[in-house]
């Protein structure tokens, strides 16, 4: 278990789906003591996993020579997770919300990632960084619960 005191931690992973398990463990270890239920922790971890899996598949086209930086900030009233990449810019907010009932009825296997992120997290912002937009930042925020 991580020390519950406020902290910021970061990691860099290769853009390979084989790296996602280690990323999930990293995120989980830093948010477990932040006051969330197990259900909430699992949702946050799933949202980060989906964001990075989409980035690996669609942004980097499974090019494991590329990297993804992840920063977990547990210093304020919210937890903030920043995902930084150098892929072609893509703002998940422009993706139309899917009809989840239809997806389920059609037994669709893909297309759930952005919907999961939007449902689980309290805020999602996307910012291309740098003068040429050479880096991107996806920020996912979850409000920390009051002391229970």
Task: Please check whether residue 45 is in contact with residue 22, taking contact to mean a CB–CB distance below 8 angstroms.
Answer: no
Strands (E), the chain: 7-14, 67-74, 78-85, 123-129, 135-143
- DSSP state letter for 145: P
The predicted pLDDT at position 4 comes to 59
The predicted pLDDT at position 138 comes to 93
- CA-closest candidate to residue 129, choices 95, 82, 73, 92: 82
Secondary-structure class of domain 7-143 per CATH: alpha beta
Residue 91 tokens read as 């703002």
Main-chain dihedrals φ then ψ at residue 14, nearest 5 degrees: -70, 150
CA–CA dist 116, 93 (Å, integer): 12
Which residues lie below 8 Å from residue 71, measured CB to CB, with a gap of 6+?
8, 9, 10, 80, 81, 82, 84
Mean pLDDT by 10 residues, the chain (148 residues): 72 97 96 90 95 93 97 92 89 62 60 76 86 80 76
* CB-based burial label for 99 (10 Å; 0-12, 13-18, 19+): exposed
Stated pTM of the model: 0.83
Task: Please check whether residue 124 is in contact with residue 139, taking contact to mean a CB–CB distance below 8 angstroms.
Answer: yes
The predicted pLDDT at position 33 comes to 84
Domain boundaries, the chain: 7-143
The predicted pLDDT at position 51 comes to 93
């Amino acid at each position: 278990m991580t020390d519950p005191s406020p902290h910021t931690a970061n990691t860099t992973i290769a853009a390979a789906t084989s790296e996602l398990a280690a990323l999930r463990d990293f995120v989980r270890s830093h948010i477990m003591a932040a006051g969330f239920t197990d259900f909430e922790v699992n949702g946050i971890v799933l949202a980060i996993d989906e964001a990075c899996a989409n980035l690996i598949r669609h942004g980097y086209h499974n090019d494991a020579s590329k990297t993804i930086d992840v920063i977990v900030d547990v210093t304020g009233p919210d937890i903030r997770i920043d995902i930084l990449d150098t892929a072609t810019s893509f703002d998940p907010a422009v993706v139309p919300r899917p009809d989840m009932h239809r997806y389920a009825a059609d037994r669709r296997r893909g297309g759930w990632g952005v919907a999961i992120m939007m449902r689980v997290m309290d805020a999602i912002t996307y910012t291309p960084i740098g003068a040429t937009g050479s880096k991107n930042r996806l920020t996912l925020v979850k409000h920390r619960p009051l002391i229970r």
